Structure formats: C-alpha cells, structure tokens
C-alpha cells in the first residue's frame, strides 16, 4: 500500500523528509506534470509562487526540474499569498494550474505544496490520488525524453494584478480615515496587504514585514496575535489584523485590544448586508458553541463539518450557502471566492463594521474552551482500544451540555484535545489529564 503524500491541506512536511528532498522533489514535479498532461492535454501553463521560507527557492528549483521535463510553461510569480495564486489562476484563462510552496502557519523548518486546478480550486480527492500514484510510479519510471522541455517566465507583474483585483472588489477609498495595524507574520502578505489597505484609503501601521527566511510566523501573525494586540493599543489604531505565513488566515483585534478569532469574524460578517439574510452558516467541530447559540438567536442555523476549510467549502457548495469558516481564521465567502483569503476577509469585515458601527466586534459570549496540542510520535485509531476507552473515561466526567473533541492534526505530528464546558476550571483539569493520558500512549521516547 503506497503512502499518501496529501494531508488536509496539500503536502506538508519538515524539509529533508519525503518528499521534500533533493531526490524526490524532481519526481514530484514530474508526477504533477504527468497529471497536468493527462488532465489538460496540451498548451499547459501554470503559475508557481511561494512564501518567505528559506527553503522555498530550493524546493521550487527542484520541483521545476521535474516539471520542465514536460512541454509546459511556468509563470514564476515569486512571493505571493496562497489565495492570490488561487484568484489569479481563476482570472487568467491560460493558467491551468497553480502551485504554492508554503507551510502556512507552521514554523520555517517546515514547508508544503498546495495545488489549484484550472478553476482556482483546491484539488479534488481524485486528482490528489492521481498525483500520489504518479509520484510513486516515478520512483521506478522517471524517464524524461530530453527532446522536449518546458519554458519559464518571470511573472512579477502578477503581484500588481492581484492587488488591483482585490481593490476592485471594494468602493474606492472606503477606508479613508481608518487607522489599521497589520501584522504580516514576516510572510507572504508582507508587501501586498499594506499596499491594498493603503490604496483603499487606510492609514497603515505595518508589523512583521521584513523577512529573513527563518522568522516567518515567529512569535507573530495569526498564531501569536498578542504581538499585534500590543501594537493596536500602543498606536491607538481603530482595528488590527494578524495574518498567517501564507495569508489565508486572519485574526482581528479591536481598538481596545480584544482578540477576535475566526468565530467572531463570522459573527461580525453576519452584520454585512450581503450575509444578513443567509439562513445558515457553516462552521467546524471546533466552532465555539457560543456562536451556535448566537446564530440560533438570529433565527439561523449552524452546520458543523470536520476541521479543514476544504470541508467547509464542500458543505457550503452542497447547501448553496455563502458564509462559513474556522476558528483558526480561515473564512470562506463563496460570493467572492471558493478559498479563504485573509486580506479579503479583513476588508469585508471592515465593510460590515462601517455598516453596523460595531467597532468592538461585540457579538456572542464564547463558551469556555480549553485546547491542548499534544506532541506525538505515532498515530493510532482513536475509535479502537485502548484510546477509545481513555477518551470515554474522561468524557464521562463532563456534563451533557459539554463538548469533547479529540483529533489528529492533518499537517503536524500532534493530537488536539478540546473541551467546552460551562465550568472553565473543570474543563482545564479534564483536558490536561486526558492530554497526559494520550501522550503516554502515543509518544515514543
């Protein structure tokens, strides 16, 4: 049985581990090229971009080695947010694929590959499986012809194309007079986010826009919003936004320094005229129960999916709905895009706030939620003994109104333990004890 390269959001590993090695990356490029030729036949052009990690250039070069063994054309846009690639592929008919080299919110030692099809959507399971099969076949049959090669072009102009495209979605200068703090996590939004906000009229205070290859997400950005929180207060900004390394996530901070996660962002967006009449929104298993109550009070419904914005999108599409998101800051607005874009989400929030006057983003009261990420060495089936018995033991210590969720991360070697309970102290105690029990079972010293 062959190993599956793809997790919940593309391929993501520590650099130096398969397939992020000098030997296997060209094979992966060759496999992607074979998939493209099988899917689109001829005249294949693709867009490639990356975030600011020091390994990006190495991965890109090695991947191109395999890609350019096919008669395809590569447009290299260099540093761009992940959602920018999705949007540009969708807008440029000649682009049949987009590849982003990024590990999103992970530390710099990790990297990843996300692939978009000709519609700018993340790959279907069928396409992912096809590439996975072709990659493993390439280990035994990598045989370029050496007679027909691909070509590449530098495509820095696509950066301005993305900026213009986003600005065109909003009323010119609608942010005039608004003071905004932007934490770009030393990542892919470091240039485009300040430019877009300034072009729409905002007075921008920039944070974490100087990258050196190893400082992406380092004590900043959406994973560490307290850095932006202090800056919002110090600079007396009207609002702040913290993006992650590749720009698909965003966390907000109001003018008094209160951090607002993805659940609060979804709630705030319900004040936007375009979403006020939506009967149903989509969240995940991690969505706070307080949001569910808030939505119900508005005579709306919350649907939950497994964690991952791809699951949110599938449910939105199946139900023909417009708004959904994750607590982590992935927000999807299907009237604008099928992929989460932190910059567009922040701007859409600004429209909602300017419309409602709710600058503090006061919406719902969250249920106390305790989340512990436990480093592990191995993964075992959570529905089988002994893990199922361990989880059941601690679940019985909670009230029927409480929520317990245990799941493996799809991108990191951790297991996440989440408990929502009206008694926060009790939730913290049970969560800590359960996390310790799981660590003993899943961690190999």
**Encoded tokens for 376:** 């592990």
Is 96 in contact with 118 (CB distance < 8 Å)? yes
Whole-number pLDDT of residue 172? 98
pTM, two decimals, is 0.90
Comparing 169-260 with 369-442, is the CATH topology the same?
Answer: no
Q: Exactly one of 55, 86, 102, 104 is catalytic; which is it?
A: 104
Superfamily of domain 11-157: Alpha-D-Glucose-1,6-Bisphosphate, subunit A, domain 3 (3.40.120.10)
Query: What architecture (CATH level 2) is domain 169-260?
Result: 3-Layer(aba) Sandwich (3.40)
CATH class label, 369-442? alpha beta
Domain boundaries, the chain: 11-157, 169-260, 262-342, 369-442
Q: Mind listing the pLDDT tens digit of every residue in the chain (445 residues)? A: 678 999 878 999 999 999 999 999 999 999 999 999 999 988 999 999 999 999 999 999 999 999 999 999 999 999 999 999 999 999 999 999 999 999 999 999 999 999 999 999 999 999 999 999 999 999 888 888 888 899 999 999 999 999 999 999 999 999 999 999 999 999 999 999 999 999 999 999 999 999 999 999 999 999 999 999 999 999 999 999 999 999 999 999 999 999 999 999 999 999 999 999 999 999 999 899 899 989 999 999 999 999 889 999 999 999 999 999 999 999 999 999 999 999 999 999 999 999 999 999 999 999 888 999 999 988 999 999 999 999 999 999 998 778 899 999 877 889 999 999 888 999 999 999 999 999 999 986 5
CATH homologous superfamily of 262-342: Alpha-D-Glucose-1,6-Bisphosphate, subunit A, domain 3 (3.40.120.10)
Angle made by CA atoms 401, 407, 409, in degrees to the nearest 5? 140
Assess whether 219 carries a catalytic annotation: no
The pLDDT, as a whole number, for residue 1 is: 61
């Amino acid at each position: 049985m062959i190993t599956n390269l793809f997790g919940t959001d593309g391929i993501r590993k520590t650099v130096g581990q398969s397939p992020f090695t000098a030997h296997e990356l060209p094979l992966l490029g060759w496999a992607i090229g074979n998939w493209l030729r099988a899917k689109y036949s001829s005249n294949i052009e693709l867009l490639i971009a990356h975030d600011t990690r020091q390994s990006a250039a190495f991965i890109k070069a090695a991947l191109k080695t395999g890609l350019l063994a096919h008669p395809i054309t590569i447009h290299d846009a260099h540093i761009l947010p992940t959602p920018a690639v999705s949007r540009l592929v969708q807008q440029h008919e000649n682009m049949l694929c987009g590849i982003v080299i990024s590990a999103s919110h992970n530390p710099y030692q990790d990297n990843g590959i996300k692939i978009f099809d000709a519609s700018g959507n993340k790959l279907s399971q069928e396409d992912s499986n096809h590439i996975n099969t072709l990659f493993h076949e390439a280990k035994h049959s990598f045989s370029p012809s050496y007679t027909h090669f691909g070509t590449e072009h530098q495509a820095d102009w696509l950066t301005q194309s993305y900026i213009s495209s986003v600005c065109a979605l909003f009323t010119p200068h609608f942010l005039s007079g608004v003071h905004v703090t932007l934490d770009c996590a030393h990542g892919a939004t470091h240039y485009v986010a300040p430019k877009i906000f300034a072009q729409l009229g905002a007075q921008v205070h920039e944070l974490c826009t100087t990258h050196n290859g190893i400082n992406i997400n380092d004590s900043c950005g959406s994973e560490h919003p307290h850095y932006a929180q202090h800056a919002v207060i110090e600079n007396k900004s009207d609002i702040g936004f913290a993006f992650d390394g590749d720009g698909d996530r965003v966390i907000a901070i109001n003018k008094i320094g209160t951090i607002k996660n993805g659940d609060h962002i979804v709630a705030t967006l319900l004040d936007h005229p375009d979403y006020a009449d939506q009967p149903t929104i989509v969240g995940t298993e991690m969505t706070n129960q307080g949001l569910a109550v808030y939505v119900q009070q508005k005579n709306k419904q919350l649907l939950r999916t497994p964690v991952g914005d791809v699951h949110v999108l599938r449910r939105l599409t199946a139900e023909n709905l417009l708004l959904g998101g994750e607590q982590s800051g992935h927000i999807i607005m299907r009237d604008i895009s099928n992929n989460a874009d932190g910059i567009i989400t922040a701007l859409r929030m600004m429209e909602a706030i300017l419309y409602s006057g709710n600058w503090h983003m006061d919406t719902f009261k969250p249920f106390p939620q305790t989340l512990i990420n436990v480093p592990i060495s191995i993964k075992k089936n959570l529905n089988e003994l002994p893990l199922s018995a361990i989880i059941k033991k601690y679940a019985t210590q909670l009230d029927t109104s409480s929520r317990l969720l245990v799941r493996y991360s799809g991108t990191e070697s951790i297991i996440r333990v989440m408990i929502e309970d009206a008694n926060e102290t009790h939730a913290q105690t049970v969560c800590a004890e359960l996390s310790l029990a799981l660590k003993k079972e899943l961690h190999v010293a």
